[in-house]
A and B are shown apart, each in its own frame.
Chain A
Amino acid sequence: MAQPLSIAVVDYEGGNLASAARAALRAAELSGRNASVIITNEPAAVRQADRIILPGQGAFADCARGLEAIPGLKDAILQAVAKGTPFLGICVGMQLMAERGLEHGVTEGFGWIAGEIAPMDAPGLRLPQMGWNELELLQPHPLTQGLGSAPHGYFVHSYALRNTTEDTLLASADYGGRVPAMVCRGNVAGTQFHVEKSQTVGLKILANFLAWQPEATL
């Protein structure tokens, strides 16, 4: 039997790690894939993983600081991504892929995706955006295959990506304007919504991520 696909869920005290790990395992199981998941903050484990998942909850600045507080962890992610390891950021994990965040001061992100994370405007609507919103798929992509009609994702956020480039956007949602919901460039992808809490839609995206063979490296 082939070696199981190793998935590293990055632990930097930044989110609901257990849910992301459980959902990744369930996605593997549903798609008949042999996979192992570790929740880890070890740079070596991150470098060796076949897939990297970066969850994230709370404020951009806190998450960015949390990541940098663990020696070698951010570098390990950068090295893994540079050698082509597929990466998935969830919620603030996705936001960290942008150039900078404006929550609690200006903080640098990975800079993989153009744009910044800014407070949402959403005139006349509740903030945070909390709940299920329909995903508009903007371009065909292996990560968004097989989601069925009118797929919805579960969102919880009051900051969102803005000023990004059109070609990085895989999906958007409408909340008082177009909100980036899913981004991808090379071998890095991210979802503003919680794939681990989006029932079969989220599990399918995770399964697609596990099967993903990116055509290009960032």
Chain B
Amino acid sequence: MLKLRVIPCLDVKNGRVVKGVNFVSLRDAGDPVEQAAVYDAAGADELTFLDITASHENRDTILDVVSKTAEKIFLPLTVGGGVRTTDDMRRLLLAGADKCAMNSAAVARPDLINEAARKFGSQCVVVAADARQTGPGQWEIFTHGGRTPTGINAIDWCKQAAERGAGEILLTSMDRDGTGSGFDLDLLRAATQAVRLPIVASGGVGTLDHFVEGARAGATGLLAASVFHFGQFTVAQVKQALALAGLPVRPSPAPFQVSQTS
């Protein structure tokens, strides 16, 4: 049986973690590679790096982060933020990313989704949809960190992303993001009913129950940053809460065993 994915997200700026797990045991809490290793050991099912580097000159810092992480961590790695062209994607994939999340650039030019899927395969194309509620059962896509309205219906956009060849949708509720009041479950239900793609829920988790609710609303991936960053929960606690609610989670893998015969 396929398991739910618990996905810690690390915000990375100029190659440094600005929102990651805050463990005293870390020698350098700003080092994304060390942070990724902590999550890897803690049983994370995937990792996401969100590159929030503002200046163009420092854009390539994320490549170094991805490459160093991929040398050590054998977990699927998604990178979002600043993915504008298929060349950007190629560089990230070559550095060791498994999936690239595109947001504003895909809204500005939806053909980017088709091109990326054709070039690299749907499996590595994630469309990151930032949605804000505009009325009952109505959500609109916003870009540029939730500041710019687009007039695009969020559910229609999810359908379009699927038709154009996305392999996954990272659906963030901009209303809930940072509030700790839980995922926007109506948004999740509407999106998971509209498309068959796997949907990663993002934005709003504040309690362990929120993860359970997100899964029950149809998300197969559950992404969070702050609750892990501030040490509110560990990945293991989230998995335990999901398991207690009868939902499928992956147990932590056994350590590597050296065979006597090899």
The answer to whether A and B belong to the same complex is yes
- Residues of A that sit less than 8 Å from B by CB: 16, 18-19, 22-23, 26, 30-33, 57-59, 62, 125-134, 145-152, 154-158, 173-175, 194, 196-204, 207-208, 211
Tell me if B3 counts as interface (CB < 8 A to partner A).
yes
Smallest Cβ-Cβ distance to B197: which chain A residue: A126
Min distance, Cβ B219 to any Cβ of chain A, angstroms:
10
Q: Mark B69-81, 1 if CB is under 8 A from A, else 0.
A: 0110011100000
Query: Considering the chains assembled together, what is the distance between the CA atoms of A138 and B256 in angstroms?
Result: 21
The answer to whether B121 touches A57 (Cβ under 8 A) is: yes
Q: Mark B146-174, 1 if CB is under 8 A from A, else 0.
A: 00000000000000000000011000000
Given contacts A31-B259, A203-B74, contact A19 B96 (CB under 8 A): yes
Q: Name the prevailing secondary structure of the A interface residues.
A: mixed
* Stretch from B14-22, B103-111, B209-217, B247-255 that touches the partner: B247-255
Tell me if B51 counts as interface (CB < 8 A to partner A).
no
What are some 18 contacts across the A-B interface (CB < 8 A)? A16-B93, A18-B70, A18-B96, A22-B70, A31-B259, A33-B262, A58-B121, A126-B197, A126-B220, A130-B221, A131-B198, A132-B3, A133-B2, A134-B1, A146-B259, A152-B250, A199-B75, A207-B256
Across-interface contacts of A175 in B (CB, < 8 A):
1-2
Choose among A125, A132, A145, A151 the residue with the greatest number of B CB atoms under 10 Å from its CB: A132
Across-interface contacts of B168 in A (CB, < 8 A):
128, 130
Query: Considering the chains assembled together, what is the distance between the CA atoms of A175 and B2 in angstroms?
Result: 7
The answer to whether B74 touches A198 (Cβ under 8 A) is: yes
The answer to whether B262 touches A31 (Cβ under 8 A) is: yes
Across-interface contacts of A16 in B (CB, < 8 A):
93, 96, 98
Given contacts A30-B256, A126-B198, contact A22 B96 (CB under 8 A): yes
Contact of A152 among B3, B4, B74, B122 (CB under 8 A): B3
The answer to whether B254 touches A148 (Cβ under 8 A) is: yes
Min distance, Cβ A176 to any Cβ of chain B, angstroms:
9
Query: Considering the chains assembled together, what is the distance between the CA atoms of A18 and B74 in angstroms?
Result: 12
Given contacts A146-B257, A199-B253, contact A131 B3 (CB under 8 A): yes
Min distance, Cβ B37 to any Cβ of chain A, angstroms:
12
Across-interface contacts of A149 in B (CB, < 8 A):
254
Contact of A128 among B1, B70, B120, B198 (CB under 8 A): B198
Across-interface contacts of B197 in A (CB, < 8 A):
126-128
Query: Considering the chains assembled together, what is the distance between the CA atoms of A203 and B124 in angstroms?
Result: 22
The answer to whether A211 touches B259 (Cβ under 8 A) is: yes
Given contacts A132-B250, A200-B254, contact A57 B123 (CB under 8 A): yes
Query: Considering the chains assembled together, what is the distance between the CA atoms of A200 and B167 in angstroms?
Result: 25
The answer to whether A152 touches B253 (Cβ under 8 A) is: yes
Given contacts A30-B258, A126-B220, A131-B3, contact A148 B76 (CB under 8 A): no
B2-42 contacts to A (CB < 8 Å): 2-5, 40
B58-88 contacts to A (CB < 8 Å): 70-71, 74-76
Tell me if B45 counts as interface (CB < 8 A to partner A).
yes
Contact of B74 among A26, A32, A207, A208 (CB under 8 A): A26
Across-interface contacts of B220 in A (CB, < 8 A):
126, 130-131
Smallest Cβ-Cβ distance to B67: which chain A residue: A18
Query: Considering the chains assembled together, what is the distance between the CA atoms of A152 and B93 in angstroms?
Result: 24
B203-234 contacts to A (CB < 8 Å): 220-221
